[in-house]
Chain A
């Protein structure tokens, strides 16, 4: 029986179904992608851990992600990350929390995301490089730099691949910031875990 008073978080979780628990390998893929989406948000909107923690509070998810260290540990669980120090297992509830937080932030910064995508469309139409628009250029630079800084083998990854990854994530954010975003993101994560795509 459903309780009368529910936290918003738990009701939102109903949108994020899970047919079967992912195994640890699948969770690895999920963790990697969650970290990347947050990285894209960081690079585009200058979102830091403060804003992410605030989002957790807004969503009544403080219990899941109480402080900076907890957040760092969750993100550090990405298998792409350098160093082993913070790595821990990410359970399903934590993954859901990060999905909700990412989409919440994408929604908050929807205007910016739309503007960036519109610029990208415009430049592409004119056969120009995305870097020619300051907003996109800054985003791509920041994404690339941060990626290389944080990720294992980051320096070895070609800038073209990183640019494409960044642009794809940018367009994805356009959809994740929409009302059905969390569900779409969640399903995409589960799908990704099926395909077993782990790393760039």
Chain B
């Protein structure tokens, strides 16, 4: 599966393996004023110089799988280290020298639905079975042949490791295995140490990041961005659905007539399933909030819906309500005019993937694609990726009624919204602030948290006020290279306004700035 417009977020390269964390840029990034990412995935390759290129082992998967791998490796390594030398006692030499593979035990099988769904979604690039053998191993090869044909895709067992003496370790691939691959690979001690190092570094980054995205990035998004997203989303969905289903153009249908198809498709869903939004993608409250009210022409700009819109949105929400209570509440809250604060609630949806945050929900491929996937204006790619056609179908009528107007709105939306945002958007000073800190920011040793500050910049370009956000931001302020209040800082602001700029300094040395 090729990664389209994939950008590599992180790359960890201990000597014998390479771990890449990749994600796609979302087209929404333009409006958000910061990179929004989706479809976070990893690519792990073991680089063994003794093997030809074609036989190198390479694993791919999503974030949940990476977290599972992390846990498995970390726990195994700790366990290995915990073993007291004395416990090895007399068997010592022989256990070091042992290369014989023990009788293969079938990996535990986990039939959980979420896991199998996940394994269906992943793609693993696999070399020939033999290539998976590292070095030693006539016996392992035969063991491999014995296990290779085992169909693994449907079962999706867990990822775990098993010692083979002190020096070699079997990594059972669990859900990372594919039909064509073996169920495990053998790692030498050095490969295991390197893998652990790469995963440790990844894990250290994830602890630093979620905070960044969930708590602090959220409020900084321009208030109109979600509106833009909603408008685009609606337009895109509508256009796509109308075309793909080739239904008679729905006129302003009543909510009552809409509710029946929805109800049936909802019933068809598993009871415990994550509530799905119009595109069959799980819809966290925020997404629903932004989706329902596609304002009629003229109401786009501020996101203030006219009176009739909430009225139509609300019944739709009611139709959804029997299955998932949360969206119902969210939609209801969206029915009154979204205030400038409300859109904030939708941000975590988009920022979750960036955060590499430990997965909160059990549905695998859900969250990375939530909002971003739905918004692109040409809907075909998005529609192609829809998990089920049914859910899309069910969404169709719901979205279609205001959608008559949406095609024209789609064209207007960006301009209208940029107009709304341009007062503060993309002033050059934001970039100046960023480059100022990029030159100076040296993360102090031991810093694990992200530091954030709000800088109030005067019309003359000097700092008027510095507001550290959070305890550590205050503690570390003297080590950020922060200029003094009143000191010339950036070029004077055109129009004499006093913008507020958020500065985010990461422990990994990254600097981000954006306008509040």
Write the residues of chain A forming the contact surface with B, with a CB cutoff of 8 angstroms.
1-4, 6, 8, 11-12, 14, 33, 36, 114, 117-118, 120-121, 124-125, 127, 130, 158, 160-161, 163-165, 167-169, 171-172, 174-175, 178-180, 184-185, 187-188, 191-192, 195, 197, 199-200
CA distance A92 to B304 in the complex (A): 61
* Chain B 487-513 near chain A by CB (<8 Å), digits 1 or 0: 000000000000000000000000000
Q: Is B101 part of the binding interface, using a Cβ–Cβ cutoff of 8 Å?
A: no
User: With A124-B97, A164-B92 in contact, do A180 and B197 touch (Cβ < 8 Å)?
Assistant: yes
- A/B interface sample: 29 pairs, CB < 8 A: A2-B471, A2-B472, A36-B85, A114-B15, A117-B167, A117-B190, A118-B190, A121-B135, A124-B167, A125-B135, A127-B99, A161-B89, A161-B92, A164-B89, A165-B85, A167-B96, A168-B88, A171-B166, A175-B196, A178-B193, A179-B201, A180-B196, A180-B197, A180-B204, A184-B77, A184-B81, A187-B81, A200-B85, A200-B86
Interface SS of chain B: helix, strand, loop or mixed? Answer: helix
Task: Verify B82–A192 contact, CB threshold 8 A.
Answer: yes
Q: Is B422 part of the binding interface, using a Cβ–Cβ cutoff of 8 Å?
A: no
CA distance A130 to B80 in the complex (A): 21
Cross-chain contact of B478 among A4, A121, A130, A199 (Cβ < 8 A): A4
CA distance A182 to B197 in the complex (A): 13
CA distance A139 to B99 in the complex (A): 23
CA distance A114 to B188 in the complex (A): 12
Task: Verify B196–A4 contact, CB threshold 8 A.
Answer: no
CA distance A199 to B95 in the complex (A): 20
Q: Which residues of B contact A11 (CB under 8 A)?
A: 445-446
Q: Which residues of A contact B190 (CB under 8 A)?
A: 114, 117-118, 121, 174
The chain A residue sitting closest to B84, CB to CB, is A197
Cross-chain contact of A160 among B78, B93, B475, B476 (Cβ < 8 A): B93
Task: Verify A125–B136 contact, CB threshold 8 A.
Answer: yes
Q: Which residues of B contact A114 (CB under 8 A)?
A: 15, 190
CA distance A168 to B91 in the complex (A): 12
Task: Verify A175–B77 contact, CB threshold 8 A.
Answer: yes
CA distance A107 to B420 in the complex (A): 55
10 shortest interchain CB distances as A-B pairs? A164-B92, A11-B446, A191-B82, A188-B81, A197-B84, A180-B200, A165-B85, A125-B136, A178-B197, A174-B193
Count of chain B residues near A, Cβ 8 A = 42
Task: Verify A14–B193 contact, CB threshold 8 A.
Answer: no
Q: Which residues of B contact A197 (CB under 8 A)?
A: 84, 86-87
Of B84, B87, B204, which is in contact with the most chain A CB atoms at under 10 Å from its CB? B84
Q: With A172-B81, A178-B196 given, name 13 new contacts (CB 8 A).
A: A11-B445, A114-B190, A124-B167, A165-B92, A175-B81, A179-B204, A184-B78, A184-B81, A187-B81, A191-B78, A191-B82, A192-B82, A195-B84
Task: Verify B193–A175 contact, CB threshold 8 A.
Answer: yes
Cross-chain contact of B82 among A118, A130, A163, A187 (Cβ < 8 A): A187
Write the residues of chain B forming the contact surface with A, with a CB cutoff of 8 angstroms.
15, 77-78, 80-90, 92-93, 95-97, 99, 135-136, 165-168, 188-190, 193, 196-197, 200-201, 204, 445-446, 471-472, 475-476, 478
Q: Which residues of B contact A200 (CB under 8 A)?
A: 85-86
User: With A178-B197, A180-B196 in contact, do A160 and B81 touch (Cβ < 8 Å)?
Assistant: no
Cross-chain contact of B166 among A6, A127, A158, A167 (Cβ < 8 A): A167
Q: Which residues of A contact B86 (CB under 8 A)?
A: 165, 197, 199-200
Of B136, B476, B478, which is in contact with the most chain A CB atoms at under 10 Å from its CB? B136
Task: Verify B93–A163 contact, CB threshold 8 A.
Answer: yes
Min CB distance, B399 to chain A, in Å? 48
User: With A171-B167, A175-B81 in contact, do A4 and B193 touch (Cβ < 8 Å)?
Assistant: no
